[in-house]
Amino acid sequence: MSLKTQSRREKVLSRGEIEQLIADGHQIVIFDRKVLKVDAWLQYHPGGDKAILHMVGKDATDEITMFHSDSAVHMMQRYQIGRVEERWVNFVPPIQGGTFRRRVEEKCESEALKIKNETVQDGNTISRPQMITSNGIKADAKSLPKTSFLDIRTKQEIDLDLSRYPSVDPAKQDEVVRKFHKLHERVISEGLYDCSYRAYAVETCRYVLVALLFVLFLRLGWYNTSAIFLGMLWHLLVFTVHDAAHLAITHDYTTDSLIAFTIASFIGGLSASWWKRNHNIHHVVTNAPEHDPDIEHIPFFAISHRFFTSLRSTFYERVMTYDAAARVLIRIQHWMYYPILLFGRFNLYRLSWEHLLRGLGPRKGIAWWHRWYEMVGQVFFWAWFGYGILYKSIPTMWDRFAFLMVSHMVTMPLHVLFTVSHFAMSTADLGASESFPQKMLRTTMDVDCPEWLNFWYGGLQFQVIHHLFPRMPRHNLARAQKFVLEYCEDVGIPYAFYGILDSNKHVLSKLGDIAKQATILAECQKAAAEDILKAHY
């Protein structure tokens, strides 16, 4: 590295300079007080560009550290263009609606606001009352719209979280982060990032046994029984795909990617590259209605009243319209939760094909081959499953249909596991100043299950710990729990941990509550419409 380059990287940048860079369209991320300009990296990032876009203008030290290997973190240093000296106060990223002004614009607007908001009465300067709107711009209190039913609900949820969780003021959040770093050091010293290959040997034996039972009963003509074991095989293999996609098995990018893509596409007919792009966003903006694709299921489910306003998804880049179908289905969503999840695997096919056909994943860099490898995997899957099993091995149309439905519906508990861990938790936005560990603990739930049933949950019933340490092999999540519990008690953050029945009750209760809100809103709108008609006639 030349002295000139070194000098440039050590240049101290002001907040105003960084804001201007973002206003000019550059992607600026703060990491360990280093200012990274990652424009050139967007198209190469294996986890997709949106994971980076949600970090623009923010201190992403914890997110980068938790999600990346040491070699990846070292590689990022090449994008350093300067550093910051003071504690960084997060901007709201542009993708989330943050606004950034150039210095000239800022000066002009500042002068205009000063003139507008000051009046002189009897020689005294009087300032009009002001409020800060969601985009950070000051507004005259008289100009603000009347508070709606949905706004009241939003405020109630925020107030509830602020009363239950540590304050989001900088001093308290710095303490939460500092102690989280100590927790992370403890996790490393305990060897919890080391993969248990013995555990994988046991799991491989289980996979082989289930696969043999699937083939045996297929040969015997017990088609529905065979379908159950095939569905079980898909269910169990997802946990290995999950570990590999998080680079938690060998910790080598290429090797773990091959494991994930081979199992997901060639055996399961799904796209692991779609999952990585989707799942990375889920980890970064967990339970944010406008941003987290894992909770965006309109018209079937809404876990927040904010979906009633037809939010625009930053992931799908479309408006999630709260239309006539949604107004009907959301009001009965607590009754339809399990029946709809029976068909969850079919939706995963749709999302996988859309991802691959549209080429939504990275096309350059170390991930360039993902799309083409998975397309080959799709052909292979439908050759052995669609043609070899459904068409050639099963004689009648009815038996084929039954086999298809049974094998896919057996995987329903997997969809319940992942939705239970988040659907019942908070969707409130406490602002850009909330720390990574507090956000994960506030939006995620652990499920307590009997030890003999651990294999069916794959270790991922410990979703809280997984969200705090995404690269930790799932066989070690249970061991990490006691350390996380001690940390939560120390910093005063509630730890959500429920049994199987209680966790499901919490989800159904949350869905039922949102359904009631949808009913109330519909009645209010109907009454308002009737009042307008009466006034008109």
What's the pLDDT tens digit per position in 64-115? 999 998 888 888 889 999 999 989 999 999 999 999 987 655 555 555 555 4
Q: Cβ neighbours of residue 475 under 8 Å, at least 6 residues apart?
A: 195, 196, 199, 459
pLDDT computed for residue 269 by the predictor? 96
> Span 335-345, mean pLDDT?
96
Whether 377 and 349 have beta carbons less than 8 Å apart is answered as no
Task: For the beta carbon of residue 3, count every other beta carbon within 10 angstroms.
Answer: 7
Alpha-carbon gap, residue 292 to 305, rounded angstroms: 15
- Do the bridges between strand 80-83 and strand 118-121 make them parallel or antiparallel, or are there none, so unpaired? unpaired
Alpha-carbon gap, residue 229 to 103, rounded angstroms: 64
Whether 18 and 28 have beta carbons less than 8 Å apart is answered as yes
* Residue 373 scores a pLDDT above 90: yes
What's the pLDDT tens digit per position in 110-135? 555 554 444 333 443 333 333 333 33
* Residue 237 scores a pLDDT above 60: yes
Alpha-carbon gap, residue 445 to 534, rounded angstroms: 49
Q: Which residue has the tokens 């999950």?
A: 242
Torsion of CA 112, 113, 117, 122, to 10 degrees: -40
> Span 466-489, mean pLDDT?
96
Torsion of CA 252, 253, 256, 257, to 10 degrees: -170
Cα–Cα nearest to 81, from 152, 31, 129? 31
| Structure confidence at residue 5 as a pLDDT band (50, 70, 90) | low
What's the pLDDT tens digit per position in 28-77? 999 999 999 999 999 889 888 999 999 999 999 999 999 998 888 888 88
Distances (CA, A) of 293 to 275, 279, 285, 288, 299: 11, 8, 9, 9, 14
> Span 427-431, mean pLDDT?
94
DSSP string, 197-221: HHHHHHHHHHHHHHHHHHHHHHHHT
Whether 32 and 181 have beta carbons less than 8 Å apart is answered as no
Q: What's the distance, CA 326 to chain centroid?
A: 22
Alpha-carbon gap, residue 280 to 53, rounded angstroms: 12
In this predicted model, which residue has the larger pLDDT, 233 or 534?
233
- Residue 351, CB half-sphere, CA atoms under 13 Å: how many? 21
Amino acid at 210: V
Alpha-carbon gap, residue 28 to 138, rounded angstroms: 25
| Structure confidence at residue 452 as a pLDDT band (50, 70, 90) | confident
Alpha-carbon gap, residue 42 to 276, rounded angstroms: 15
Q: Which of 131-135, 272-276, 281-285, 348-352 has the lowest mean pLDDT?
A: 131-135
For all residues of the chain together, what is the average pLDDT? Answer: 89
Domains of the chain: 15-96 (3.10.120.10), 194-428 (no CATH)
**Three-class SS state of 25:** coil
**Three-class SS state of 520:** helix
Task: For the beta carbon of residue 477, count every other beta carbon within 10 angstroms.
Answer: 23
In this predicted model, which residue has the larger pLDDT, 118 or 209?
209
Q: Cβ neighbours of residue 462 under 8 Å, at least 6 residues apart?
A: 446, 474, 477, 478, 480, 481
